[in-house]
Structure 1
Amino acid sequence: MSDPDFNDSTLIEHLVELRARLVRGLMGLGVVLLALLPFSRTLYTHLATPLVSQLPAGQSMIATNPAGAFFAPLKLTFFTALFVAVPWLLYQAWAFVAPGLYAREKRLAVPLLGSAVALFYLGCAFAYFLVLPTVFHFLTTFRPEVIAITPDANAYLDFVLAIFFAFGASFELPVAMVILVLLGWVTPQQLREGRGYAIVGIFVLAAILTPPDVVSQLMLAIPMCILYELGIHAARWLQPRDPNKAAAS
């Protein structure tokens, strides 16, 4: 029979450690945010480039809300700080849970976390450098001449953040597939056999997550199909030798 005092002291130690990790994570995020605040306007200018570069000469964004021109850059700065601080935040989470993991779990968790962060960054970069310029060029090229595009600063920011999240999260597909295989829920063979259904699901998901235009849907669906194939190969490489021990490994 376990000692209640021992269990209580252990729980308190975990809570104290959790609080310390949360404080360190928030402090790191605060430092990054303070460092980026002087560059708020510059950050928004860079974010607006994919759209502004497609607008007619002399035309720019507007702020329908009087405070929009002030809060939109600040909102972007916060999300940029969060974006930059993700590795530090994940490290704090890892430092909290790592002592309770087995050696094999630690060996697998580190590359999986690193791959997840890298793929999320890659998805956001793909959206910024390729998807947004292409989509805005398509939308501005085929608009009727009688319609003037006067985008609102806050609405544009929300739109771009949604695109970043959609592409960043979608690029996590290989990591999700590897985790499912390691848990023993599926096998690489089942992933290969379900490729056709997966492709249909990918195109449906792309249609839901992206704006209602074919260009952005294809630019999300095609990379996801490629990532699905990469996920199959990665899952086959990392699959436990004994499938019956997949969930316990």
Structure 2
Amino acid sequence: MTTPPDKPEAPVEDQEQPFMSHLLELRDRLMRMVLAVLVIFLALSPFANRIFSLLADPLTRHLPADTSLIAVEVIAPFLIPLKATLVLAIFIAMPYILNQAWAFIAPGLYRHERRMVLPLMVSSTLLFYLGAAFAYFVILPLLSIFLTGTAPEGVAVTPDIGKYLDFELMLFFAFGAAFEVPVATFVLVWLGMTTPEALASKRPYVVVGAFVIGMLLTPPDVISQTLLALPMWLLFEVGIFASRVFLRRRAAAAGEEDEEDRPLTEAEMDEALDRIEAEEAAAGGSDAQEDGADRR
């Protein structure tokens, strides 16, 4: 008995095509992201100085009348406003960037994962924007008042524009990350790493931790520390509430599936058999009538 010849292997190009297609799609989407940021940056670049003035407004409005921001480096008056404009362009393009990322990863997810990941992406983006806005409208003015009011006598408060922008961006990202507490809480419960009851039992530690984080990220005064700690605590409670609602809905859905998959009882089986026999008898009677009509 002769063995059949081995089937020739597929060309290397055919074997690598799926992987290469993913790389090409990733390249295209990355280029779209960069192009979107570039287009927004070019559109905003003529207003770079105005954008930096708006970002510096929480500090400059509280500086003494005879002081202002300074530029230590020679090229800083040109580069720092452009840097602020580039960061703003990334912030504005973030929904499009996340949409491109979602379009790339969504085909590889299960249906229930797609239903969860998309709302998480949207909510995390909105919360990050909310945290950055909170830092700009609440924390930075309080910080400016504190710094200008506590300067020693004979010391002029004239911050460097580069150092100020770096500090402001650090606050934006820090508060944006701090406002992701509900998403982090929900993800932990969704992955089964903890439960809403376990998180609720840790509430005293969370409150203390929120005040510690507020102490590290804000000026050393009670008001600004509380202004960060209270939102973090409230967002933690929102995360617990959303986790409980999610678990109740998942349990209800699982109960409906179990109800559909459970075996029939004897009474239900007898009822189903009677219904089938009645349908067969009715069908047989109609067939007999049709046969009689045909004979006539």
TM-score over 0.5 (shorter chain): yes
- 2:62 aligned to 48, 54, 59, which one? 54
Q: Against the structure 1 CA distance between its residues 135 and 4, is the aligned structure 2 distance closer, same or farther, given a 3 Å change threshold?
A: farther
2:206 alignment partner, one of 192, 198, 209: 198
Alignment partner for residue 85 of structure 1, among 93, 118, 125? 93
Residue 27 of structure 1 pairs with residue 35 of structure 2:
yes
* Contact 1:121–1:168 (CA under 8 A) maintained in structure 2: yes
Task: Kindly indicate whether the alpha-carbon contact (under 8 Å) linking 2:211 and 2:225 is maintained by their aligned counterparts in 1.
Answer: yes
Contact 2:139-2:218 at 8 Å conserved across structures? no
Runs (4 or more) in structure 1 with deviation over 6 Å come to none
Amino acid at match of 2:56: A
CA deviation after TM superposition for structure 1 residue 205, in Å: 2.7
Equivalence for 2:191: 183
User: Greater CA deviation, 134-143 or 206-215?
Assistant: 206-215
Preserved CA contact (<8 Å) 2:181 2:235:
yes
- Give the alignment's TM-score, normalised by structure 1: 0.90
- Structure 1 window deviating more from structure 2 (229-238 vs 193-202): it is 193-202
Q: Contact 1:166–1:210 at 8 Å: present in 2 too?
A: no
2:275 maps to none
Q: Residues 145-186 of structure 1: CA distance to partner in whole angstroms, max 9, x if unpaired?
A: 322101111011011001111111110110111111111111
Q: Within the alignment, does 1:126 sit opposite 2:144 as a pair? A: no
- Whether the aligned pair in 2 keeps the contact of 1:54 and 1:140 (CA below 8 Å) is yes
Matching residue's letter, 2:169: L
Distance in 2, matches of 1:96 and 1:163, equals: 31
AA at the equivalent of 1:21: R
What is the distance in 1 between the residues matched to 2:176 and 2:194? 24
Correspondence 1:99 to 2:107 = yes
Matching of residue 114 in structure 1 with residue 146 in structure 2 = no
Which is higher, the Rg of structure 1 or of structure 2?
2
Q: Which runs of 5+ in 2 are unaligned?
A: 1-9, 255-296
| Aligned AA (1:138) | F
Question: Please, which of 84, 93, 116 is the counterpart of residue 76 of structure 1?
Answer: 84
- Shift of residue 31, structure 1, vs aligned partner: 0.8
Q: Secondary structure at the match of 1:241?
A: helix
SS of equivalent to 2:250: coil
CA–CA distance in structure 2, aligned partners of residues 4 and 203 of structure 1: 62
Equivalent pairs, count: 242
Say whether the 8 Å CA contact 1:21–1:93 is kept in structure 2. Answer: yes
- For normalisation by structure 2, the TM-score amounts to 0.77
Q: Which runs of structure 2 are paired with 1:35-50 in the superposition (5 Å)?
A: 35-50=43-58
Output the CA distance in 2 between the equivalents of 1:52 and 1:22. 38
Looking at structure 2, the residues matched to 213 and 69 of structure 1 have their Cα atoms a distance apart, in angstroms, of 33
- Aligned-residue identity in percent: 49
Distance in 1 between the 2:159 and 2:150 partners? 16
Q: Paired residue for 2:21? A: 13
**C-alpha separation between the residues in 1 aligned to 2:93 and 2:220?**
32
Aligned equivalents of 1:226, 1:4: Cα separation in 2: 59
Greater Cα shift, 45-54 or 216-225: 216-225
